[in-house]
Amino acid sequence: MKRSADTIVVNATVEMTTASLRTVVAKAKQLAGRDQRGRYRVDTADVVNRMISRFLLEKDFESFVQNTENYKSIIVPGKMVC
């Protein structure tokens, strides 16, 4: 994943399907493998973070946010944005 010098870390709440989360956790554990005690040594929350960040960078989130049409179902004029 390429990172430009002008990226920042944003902590946000992200809605995703439970199937996506299960897949990320299962694949992370599969790739990390078990240690001598049979435990997985992988931070699955960090893997989710990195997967989402990679997706946003590779799938051109910057262009997506430039398009005003993408805001219309989220922001209603005169109402609180949540």
Question: 43-80 pLDDT, tens per residue?
Answer: 999 999 999 999 999 999 999 999 999 998 888 888 76
Q: CA-based angle 26:31:7, to the nearest 5? A: 90
pLDDT of residue 13: 95
DSSP SS3 for 62: helix
Question: CA separation (Å) from 75 to 16, 45, 49, 64, 72?
Answer: 20, 29, 25, 15, 6
Closest CA to 65 of 56, 54, 55, 76: 56
Q: CA-based angle 55:41:10, to the nearest 5? A: 35
Q: What is the rounded end-to-end Cα distance, in angstroms, of the chain? A: 30
Residue 1, pLDDT above cutoff 60: no
| pLDDT tens-place string over residues 29-50 | 999 999 999 999 999 999 999 9
